[in-house]
Structure 1
Amino acid sequence: MERVALAVLAHPDDAEFLCAGSLIRLRREQGWTIHIASMTPGDCGSVEHPPEEIARIRRGEAQAAAARIGATYHCLEERDLRVIYNENVLEKVVRLLNAVRPQIVFTHSPDDYHLDHEQTSRIVRAATFAAPVPNFLYGRHIHPPLEHIPHLYYCDPLEGKDVFGQPIRPAFWVDISAVIEEKAAMLACHESQRAWLRKHHGVDNLVESMKNWAATQGHAAGLPYAEGFRQHLGHSYPQNNLLAELLRPVRS
């Protein structure tokens, strides 16, 4: 059976910043098929280009980043600052899950700095639960429902804190030291974001910011570089830590 990991994050470059190191390791060490999806094409991420132009640019950058590791990029075509839990977007994500059939799904922390991130987290949580339910798309399935709920993992929130500045500690860390430069190369594909983040976020270098955060998490785990995760362990979700079994993580 094909083994598939799917990252569903809000914007182009979110996956590269938050979980690409683990995706690279799953691909290279375990032979998994990788899919990376963004809720939006990043249509508000520019002070130079109008929405449709920057969306076109950012889709291309996301495709180039995914292609570096042989992954497939998907855009769900919602819009920046308008990602809202509703029936239409939930159905989009369920259809994506049923099409690619992942055993592991990554998404944003339920608590994060950006409402697009938080809404994406809730939508993906609901979609992983709904994707195996035959009656959810009764009579309208393109692909059959999943056989079971996939393993769901929440990435670190940006800067590892909630909106009140309180720390959100990972349950475990994955060592990405050996793939940090490839993760950086994926993130560097998002060239259009450098000017935007400097203007809006006060971040001068996206790649160096990512490396600094990975080093911070690595230091907490006793590693050069790491990515932090929490697993969704609610009722009916898988209880074994498949990501840990595959990538031998360090626990907090």
Structure 2
Amino acid sequence: MAHPDDAEILCGGVLIRLGQLGWDVHIATAANGDCGSENLGREEIAAIRKQEGIAAAHSIGGTYHTLAEPDVNVVFDQATNRKAIDLFRQINPTLVITHPREDYMLDHEQTHLLARSAAFSFPIPNASSLPRLPNAHIPHLYYADPVEGKDPYTGQMVTPTTVIDISAQIDQKAEMLACHASQRDWLRAHHGMDEYLEAMKRFSAHRGSLIGVDYAEAFRQHLGHAFPENDLLAELLQ
């Protein structure tokens, strides 16, 4: 994902469920979160947000990584693409969730390109100088909802291919998101309520209404050439 807390908001429930099935869970961000404060300097807030990302991932038995690009400066260029491919080479993912191609800010859209490129490229022998595991292959690739579920160019809600029930995981998802205290505290002071968590729950409830459950997360599967086409999320998390 682009920033610390994006994964927790958009796919935290699914990550919890996969972890419960015994999967190794990795949360990676392209950016370091250095614009995530009204009062702190870039280095200070970036260090805080890295620790929050580590704590959130650890809370579900996962591992946090970051490419450490500066906020509002994530770009799909040769150097950052190389960093993403190298990270994928080390993790050797089977299933990847990233941002959709069209979202409310360009950090998300550029992260989409980086993740899509790395997913396709990391198994190619000459794509990275890092060792390639023998079982490396193009993973299943899914796009989480854009923020608020809206296509930013039309204002219409996007239509998912896969909707996963996270009703039993919603409290743990909230605890995971609450690890990002720097963002939660700022919104709590600004709104006079715990808007950070409430907004997440409202949208999860909205997606839950699509399948008649209390809370859900929605995704669109990438079905381009060479990518697996069976809906692995639906098969694993019916």
> TM-score normalised by the shorter chain: which range applies?
over 0.9
* Deviation of the 1:142 alpha carbon: 4.0
Q: C-alpha separation between the residues in 1 aligned to 2:192 and 2:149? A: 18
Q: C-alpha separation between the residues in 1 aligned to 2:121 and 2:115? A: 10
Partner of 2:86: 95
Work out whether 1:153 is the aligned partner of 2:145. Answer: no
* Deviation of the 1:194 alpha carbon: 2.6
Work out whether 1:65 is the aligned partner of 2:56. Answer: yes
Provide the TM-score with structure 1 as the length reference.
Answer: 0.89
Secondary structure of the residue aligned to 1:38 is strand
Corresponding pairs, count:
237
Partner of 2:76: 85
Per-residue CA deviation, residues 177-236 of structure 1 (Å, 9 max, x unaligned), is: 000000000000111003545799999611111000000000122110000001000011
Which of 209, 214, 232 is the matching residue for 2:222?
232
Per-residue CA deviation, residues 38-85 of structure 1 (Å, 9 max, x unaligned), is: 111200010010000000110111111111111000011111000000
Per-residue CA deviation, residues 152-198 of structure 1 (Å, 9 max, x unaligned), is: 01000011111131221111200000000000000001110035457
Secondary structure of the residue aligned to 1:76 is strand
| Percent identity over paired residues | 53
Work out whether 1:171 is the aligned partner of 2:161. Answer: yes
Conserved? CA contact 2:92–2:133, under 8 Å: no
Provide the TM-score with structure 2 as the length reference.
Answer: 0.94
Secondary structure of the residue aligned to 1:227 is strand
Q: C-alpha separation between the residues in 2 aligned to 1:170 and 1:180? A: 20
Q: C-alpha separation between the residues in 2 aligned to 1:58 and 1:200? A: 19
Q: C-alpha separation between the residues in 1 aligned to 2:206 and 2:222? A: 24
Q: Which runs of 5+ in 2 are unaligned?
A: none
Q: Kindly tell me: are residues 13 and 65 of structure 1, through their superposed partners in 2, closer, same or farther at Cα, counting changes over 3 Å?
A: same
Per-residue CA deviation, residues 91-142 of structure 1 (Å, 9 max, x unaligned), is: 11111111111110010011110110011011111111111111223xx224
Q: C-alpha separation between the residues in 2 aligned to 1:42 and 1:154? A: 21
* CA RMSD after TM alignment: 1.9
**Amino acid corresponding to residue 94 of structure 2 in structure 1:** Q
Task: After TM superposition, list the pairs within 5 Å mapping 1:22-33 onto structure 2.
Answer: 22-28=14-20, 30-33=21-24
**Amino acid corresponding to residue 14 of structure 1 in structure 2:** D
Conserved? CA contact 1:203–1:209, under 8 Å: no
Work out whether 1:215 is the aligned partner of 2:202. Answer: no
**Amino acid corresponding to residue 109 of structure 1 in structure 2:** P
Q: Kindly tell me: are residues 52 and 15 of structure 1, through their superposed partners in 2, closer, same or farther at Cα, counting changes over 3 Å?
A: same
Q: C-alpha separation between the residues in 2 aligned to 1:18 and 1:203? A: 21
* Deviation of the 1:143 alpha carbon: 4.1
Q: C-alpha separation between the residues in 2 aligned to 1:197 and 1:83? A: 24
Q: C-alpha separation between the residues in 1 aligned to 2:203 and 2:182? A: 21
Task: After TM superposition, list the pairs within 5 Å mapping 1:1-252 onto structure 2.
Answer: 9-28=1-20, 30-137=21-128, 140-144=129-133, 147-164=136-153, 165-197=155-187, 205-248=195-238
